[in-house]
Amino acid sequence: MAEELLNSLERSDKYYLGSGDGILWAPRYPRWLDQPGFWDEAHIYHYELAPVFTITFLAAEGQPPGAPLMPRVLSRRWTPAELIVEYELDGLVAEEHRSVLPGGYFLSEWAIRNGSDADRRLLGVAWTGQSANGIELSSVQAAAGSVSFSHTLQDRHVHRLAVQVTLEAPDGGVAGSALLSEGVADGPRWELTPFPDKWRRGPVTAVQVDGVSPRGVLYAAVATPVSVPARGTATLRAQARLRPTGLPAPQMSSPLATVIRGHAPPKRRAEPRRPAPGAEPGAASRASWSRFLDGVPGLDCSDKFFERFWYYRWYGLNLCSHEGGIGNHVYPGCCEGTGYFHVPIAYSAQCQARETRWLSQPDRARGCLLNILAHQKESGQLHGRIYVNHLAHTDFYFANWGDAVLAVDRVHPDDAYLRAVYEPLSRYAEWLDRQRDREESGLYDVIDHYETGQEYMSRYMAVSPEADSETWGNLIRLKGIDATVYAYRLQRALAEIAARIDDGSAAGRWTAAADRTGTAIRDLMWDGETGMFSDVDPRTMRRTGVKAAVCFYPYFTDLADADHVEGLRAHLLNPAEFWTVYPVPSTSADDPYYSPDAEWKGKRHNCPWNGRVWPMTNSHIVEALATAAIRQDPGLRERVVELVRKFVRMMFHDGDLGRPNCYEHYSPDTGRPSLYRGFDDYQHSWVVDLLVKYVAGFRPLGGDRFVVDPFPFELDSLRLSELPFRGRRIEIEIDAGRFAVSVDGERTADSAVGEPLRVEL
């Protein structure tokens, strides 16, 4: 079944490869996809290494080896497990399976078919050419079939990571060479390497890294003879292993490390098992991905966009995952994206926890949050990013920690987990009070436009003409609606957790804090005349009146009531403001700074929030609209259906069911993604969680209770199976307007769509 799911995601325009351990191949702007191997950059966590290696085939009918055979691409197809490229190779047909296995193994496995009546002899050479800067030349070693060296990489903040690079021909390699050259490594061009000259009499094992200067290019190569019988097939495997070295044992810099250690990290996975000689190309990677998919709930839905995106999203979550037990990555978790986003980030951790809670095991969902808390500052503030081997330039982001923590616990309850998060989250809430609400207003300060994760918006310009500075720091003060709602939900969560772990006095204290914050939101941020919440200028304590998508965030809490719903309808559902062709723009369409084209003040920006549709914001807005529909206005259910459908369909290139995506932001007019950014599979939102709660209708209510209440998507059929809930397995089936619920394989009850079913185990 899992391999069928992999095949169902097959497409020809995709190429990202990884295995969920923090090491992956997802080049932003690849130049060499049609060249064998991995010449475009790889990432070891957020550190970049390029190239990895390529494969060149030489004619070897006699000695020395002849000219390189020039591969011509016939086809390319991708699944999460492998990139399969078919070539014409001087009369041969060769199929290459590229994959990335746990442990940093980059594999290029070949099946070469000979349709002629004559045997063919080739020499397969795996080789790389890397800048000698950062390579410890004394570490270079070569043997028959392998070359290794230590390469120190550097990130954007001038921090370094040592990586042991091993290039191998594990199945019959006859030579390994490492040669230092003053130039050039201009792409994977065999004729520019030193090897045609040094291997005049055949491949040799040698290391030559001396010279008047250590600068230049280190060329490394391993060679394997390949005999392709007449009317037969031969195989070849080459691989590189990129293994970080010098990383410390799991580090917790938080003064509360002893508290968090009470929730022990799971053990690291055992050393990965490399493919056995003669194994079918790609088999090891397919097996690795199948093991992951076996822990994913199954979805079979008549709306194929929902079904396809469900499995595509699980692929993206695993691609961006990382292991625990390595450096600052104490727990298994998830990175925000690829490239320099391949690092746990606070703003997206709240999203990933909501989605990965639906895996059969809770370790990754809990780890998304615990990794951030494990490195809490002395002040109580939280780092915005957790780099694997340093905590410099980590910045800060507001996030909805309270709802994320409780979301995980609703599905996988664990008092030890709640105790682990309670004290650090309490200290963070106290830091917010001290540093971000010094006037004790109940509203919380944003001090630059980056820390909300939503830069370049009118809401900041309303309090300072310097707000769009590209410098992090104390440039503005704005009582932010998003920051304050997050604080409110955290205070409510801390009260619930304190009561759960038998601290009644603390529960009362946090309840009082939440009541104060909630009252401030309703009294100071709500404008009854315009019917909208907004930010507040702390200099005057007046509302700014700027209309942004975050102004709807109070609607996913218990603060909005029937008096507020008309404002939601008037503004959110207004095509002239937020209900665009593809809702919801991050800033109202009638804002003077609004741009659907990612422009801020006439210049296209990387991450503008002045009109683009961000999956992150849409996730919040679906929750807001759905909560209002459940609590106050059932008529809004139809608009939830419309929003979810448009949201999911927006994330398919040109509406093509075979080409799902998830970029940072999209056009509200065309739904076109931010291709120019080069970051697909960006885990900065939650979609799996929305499909569970509103399409299938399964929503935990606390304790052993849940409700099944599908919104009116008018599906012909849906089957959501193997959904974990408190150690049980839930299945929901929808058929022609009716639905049934099963627990651990036994049918429990049934009802009609529109008639919620409450269940207590």
B/e letters for 28-46, b = 16+ CB within 10 Å, e = fewer, are eebebeebbbbbbbbbbbb
Mean of the pLDDT values across residues 560-570?
96
Average pLDDT over residues 38-59: 97
Q: What is the pLDDT of residues 99-130, one digit of tens each?
A: 999 999 999 999 999 999 999 999 999 999 99
Length of the chain: 761
Whole-angstrom distance, CA of residue 210 vs CA of residue 628: 71
Contact 535, 544 (CB under 8 A): yes
Q: What is the pLDDT of residues 676-704, one digit of tens each?
A: 999 999 999 999 999 999 999 999 999 99
| pLDDT tens track for 183-229 | 878 899 999 999 999 998 899 999 999 876 788 999 999 999 999 99
8 Å CB contact between 692 and 354:
no
Strand bridging mode 175-181 / 206-208:
parallel
Structure tokens at 58: 């030489």
Q: What is the pLDDT of residue 262?
A: 63
3-state DSSP assignment of residue 530? coil
* Percent residues over pLDDT 90 in the chain: 90
Q: What is the pLDDT of residue 63?
A: 65
pLDDT (mean) for 728-733: 98
pLDDT digit string, tens, across residues 71-87? 999 999 999 999 999 99
For residues 90 and 57, give the distance between their C-alpha atoms in angstroms, rounded to a whole number: 10
DSSP strands (E only) in 516-592 = 526-527, 532-533, 536-537, 542-543
Which pTM value belongs to this model? Answer: 0.96
Instruction: Tell me what pLDDT residue 475 has.
Output: 82
pLDDT of 27 over the 70 cut: yes
pLDDT at residue 261, rounded to an integer: 59
- What is the pLDDT, as a whole number, of residue 244? 96
pLDDT of residue 272: 57
Number of H helices, E strands in the chain: 16, 35
DSSP string of 454-504, one letter each residue: --S-HHHHTT-TTTT-SS-SS---EE-HHHHHHHHHHHHHHHHHHHHTT-H
Which pLDDT tens digit goes with each residue over 332-370? 999 999 999 999 999 999 999 999 999 999 999 999 999
pLDDT in tens, 243-267: 999 887 776 766 655 556 566 666 6
Q: Residues of the chain with pLDDT > 70: what percent?
A: 96
Q: How confident is the model at residue 504 (pLDDT cuts 50, 70, 90)?
A: confident
Residue 379's nearest CA partner among 431, 429, 421 is: 431
Q: What is the tens place of the pLDDT at every residue in 122-167?
A: 999 999 999 999 999 999 999 999 999 999 999 988 899 999 999 9
Helix (H, G, I), strand (E, B) or coil at 255: coil
Q: Stretch 419-437: mean pLDDT, rounded? A: 97
Say what the pLDDT of residue 606 is. Answer: 97
Mean pLDDT of the chain, nearest integer = 95
